[in-house]
Amino acid sequence: MELKSEFRNKKKLITVGIIDTETANLKSVIFACEKIFLRVYLIKKYENISSDIDGLIFPGVGSFSFVIEILKRKKLDKFIFEFLKTNKPSLFICLGMQLLFSYSEEVKRSEGLNIFPGSSTLIPSNQNRKVPIIGWNTINQTNENDIFYGIKKNDTFYFTHSFYVLPKNKDLISSESEYCGFKYCSSIAYKNIYGLQFHPEKSSVAGLKIYENFKKLCLV
């Protein structure tokens, strides 16, 4: 576990653990956390530290099968399962959200963390719909939750992905987005587990608001 940033407000010390999958763009996530004065630990292998952190962030980017192998080899999957049992807030970004489900069809069928029944499936492409999706888009909130507090209907977020999640339990879906006529799940929420298909750390002011909301959840 490696300390990466110092919280500047000693009266409200909040520490978040960030899972290091060796593939994610950690610098952007760390920068977003530092921007709102979060203390950050990088979690590179299994450690019994769930009592020392107030929230957990799983960054996106990477291949589903490669990342799940890293998680199992370093027993980070065990750490995630143990942390979720604490009911402290957790934020799973892009690939992180996809890994929460049963399996993915990327390259080959790979088993996920199976926190929720469902799959990660390739976005259908055609002449007008190019894949991967890369760029800015809005989200249509279908269920209110605290992670989207203060987010406006026309706020845009940065997406970059080729796969989307298909939860068996549709009540998990907290927002949908549309891309060239194709509507898909762009976020999920269940108790203190939040998943985002977009990258809030790359989404300017609106994305930083997501991190601020996550910070407030860590205070509860």
| DSSP string over 62-127 | S-HHHHHHHHHHTTHHHHHHHHHTTT--EEEETHHHHHTEEEE-SSS-EE---SEEEEEEEPP--S
pLDDT at 26: 87
Q: How far, in Å, CA of 104 to CA of 93, rounded?
A: 16
From the list 94, 106, 161, 218, the catalytic residue is 94
The per-residue pLDDT for range 129-170, each reduced to its tens digit, is: 999 999 999 999 999 899 999 999 999 999 999 999 999 999
Mark whether 69 is an active-site residue: no
Contact 169, 189 (CB under 8 A): no
> What CATH number does the domain containing 23 carry?
3.40.50.880
- Token code pair at residue 99: 């890994």
pLDDT higher than threshold 80 for residue 99: yes
CB 87 within 8 A of CB 127: no
**Known catalytic membership, residue 161:** no
pLDDT at 7 > cutoff 90: no
- Active-site position among 33, 161, 185, 201: 201
Q: Tell me how many domains the chain contains.
A: 1
pLDDT interval class at 11 (50, 70, 90) = very low
Quote the pTM value: 0.92
- Which tokens is 132 given? 């991967």
Q: Determine the structural domain holding residue 134 and report its residue range.
A: 2-219
- Which token pair is 218? 């860590």
pLDDT in tens, 39-55: 999 999 887 766 789 99
Give CA–CA dist 6/206, Å, rounded: 24
List the structure tokens of 165.
Answer: 């999640």
Say what the pLDDT of residue 171 is. 96
201 is catalytic: yes
Catalytic residue among 33, 161, 199, 218: 199
Neighbours of 109 (CB within 10 A): 11
CB 151 within 8 A of CB 138: no
Backbone angles phi, psi at 55, to 5 degrees: -160, 165
